[in-house]
Amino acid sequence: MYSVAEENYIKGIYHLQQKARSVSTNALAKHMNTKAASVTDMLKKLQTKKLLDYEPYYGVRLSSSGIKLALSIVRRHRLWEYFLVNSIGFGWEEVHEIAEQLEHVQHPALIEKLDIFLGRPAFDPHGDPIPDIDGKMANVHYVSLTEVEPGKQVVFAAVGLQTADLMNMLQHKGLKLGDKLKVAERFDFDQSLEVLINNKKKATLSFKLGRMILVKKPEV
Amino acid sequence: MYSVAEENYIKGIYHLQQKARSVSTNALAKHMNTKAASVTDMLKKLQTKKLLDYEPYYGVRLSSSGIKLALSIVRRHRLWEYFLVNSIGFGWEEVHEIAEQLEHVQHPALIEKLDIFLGRPAFDPHGDPIPDIDGKMANVHYVSLTEVEPGKQVVFAAVGLQTADLMNMLQHKGLKLGDKLKVAERFDFDQSLEVLINNKKKATLSFKLGRMILVKKPEV
DNA sequence: GATAAATTTTAGATTTGTCTAAAAATTCAC
DNA sequence: GTGAATTTTTAGACAAATCTAAAATTTATC
């Protein structure tokens, strides 16, 4: 098992790596709120554990096992955030710090059981995709219907949540994967949407529902 | 705030204090799975934080602020256990170790929101009372099954220990909280018990096992 | 391409919590 | 109540993760 400090470094490198190919000691030190000397020490340690490829003076990249670990930490973090907001009523602005602690709780079955309890959500409360147990996550080229410009045609590509509640509701509204959707109206008052389904049926969707409808641009 | 190690010592002293007025260094060392020298160091440290009254060579007792802290840790631990069993489907034998980690997650509103979400439960899955935010909890005067007169009907209300070993054994014998128990026979030779469970199943329990089965008189 | 500026690493110290071994205090046994 | 056994504390060391200050390396500038 890895220490909390080690896990935090791996997660930090993972996030910085999304922007640039390789991560510098200084950038990581700033991101981790620590000093460059401390970063160097930790990189040498994580190098021996084969979690990353570290070239002194030339920055660091996660190895494949480092990426795997990072994705598992990100998974834990985002599932706990989802729980904090959608189960016990925190606002999405307060959950990050709590999830930073919860993500380090170690148990072989905990996260899988939490995932099932939550309905295997695909996105956390901030809209970030939640990696599955194999590290796969929703293609972030999807956007939720709430972010689509009125008038534009899009295709219903995925749901952001797999609860019976949501499924029943989608069925009731006559919505299924592959449907062509056009936002006819967006009301500022409650951010609800009026959509045209397959250029035929009209339906009114709440903001909360719209967020769980993930869409992509139609194939040309 | 207090470190995980500090919180664990406070919790350990609290539990040992329930049995005896004052807690010895060695008893605490055994309970904490550490060495007496380490205990002495920590006691001196917690003494300066006014969490306990420590008299060198003569043991330790929690101060009133130490008791308050202990009760808050116990509250966190038992609420998380309740969540693990009743919300996400763990068996009662596996939750103790996870709750040991979760109990140290720090946030001013977390435990109150969790408590509300769970419906403010009064007892954890092992039958132990959950302190409220002011440290108050259900007053329980359980006796162990070994002290019950043969023929009397009692109710299995709590376990005296929370090891996976014990939980597995109870599960195997088909014993769970709320069961009606009657001591059918007590053998002087090894002090083992023969009990009738819910007026149906019979089971033989060793003295050691019987001591860990805490019961109360049935409601009238 | 030499030198200055910036970055990174090394060396050595610090804090927290732990350990072993030895010394000190208490308790037990007769 | 004295000596032995037990318990507890002290002294000194260690591992993890951090720090500051100095040295080494890379990058930028002219």
Residue A219: band (very low, low, confident or very high) from pLDDT cuts 50, 70, 90: low
Query: B-side interface with A, Cβ within 8 Å?
Result: 84, 87-90, 94, 97-98, 101-102, 104-107, 109-110, 113-114, 116-117
Residue B125: band (very low, low, confident or very high) from pLDDT cuts 50, 70, 90: confident
Segment A29-53 shows an average pLDDT of 96
Residue of B nearest to A97 (CA): B107
What token pair was written down for A59? 């920055």
At B158 the pLDDT is 83
Cβ-proximal residues to B168 (8 Å cutoff; 6+ apart), any chain: B93
Judged by CB atoms closer than 8 Å, whether chains meet at A94 and B109 is answered as: yes
Judged by CB atoms closer than 8 Å, whether chains meet at A117 and B90 is answered as: no
Residue of B nearest to A99 (CA): B105
Segment A53-71 shows an average pLDDT of 96
Segment A107-114 shows an average pLDDT of 97
Distance, Å, B32 CA → C21 C1': 21
Q: Find chain B residues with C-beta within 8 A of A112's C-beta.
A: none
What token pair was written down for A148? 């689509």
Largest CA distance in chain B: 57
Judged by CB atoms closer than 8 Å, whether chains meet at A97 and B117 is answered as: no
Distance, Å, A44 CA → C8 C1': 13
Q: Which of A159, A137, A164 is nearest to A205 (CA)?
A: A159
Asked whether A215 and A143 are in contact (CB, 8 A), the reply is yes
Residue B39: half-sphere exposure toward Cβ, Cα within 13 Å = 23
User: What is the least distance, in Å, from the CA of A164 to any CA of chain B?
Assistant: 16
Asked whether B158 and B219 are in contact (CB, 8 A), the reply is no
Residue B96: band (very low, low, confident or very high) from pLDDT cuts 50, 70, 90: very high
What token pair was written down for B14? 């609290």
User: What is the least distance, in Å, from the CA of B63 to any CA of chain A?
Assistant: 29
Number of H helices, E strands in chain A: 8, 8
For residue A102, give the nearest of B97, B105, B113 by CB distance. B105
Distance, Å, B38 CA → D4 C1': 26
Among A110-114, B60-64, B165-169, where is mean pLDDT lowest? Answer: B165-169
Which nucleotides of chain C are near protein (any atom < 7 Å from a CB)?
Answer: 7-12, 16-22, 25-27
Residue of B nearest to A112 (CA): B88
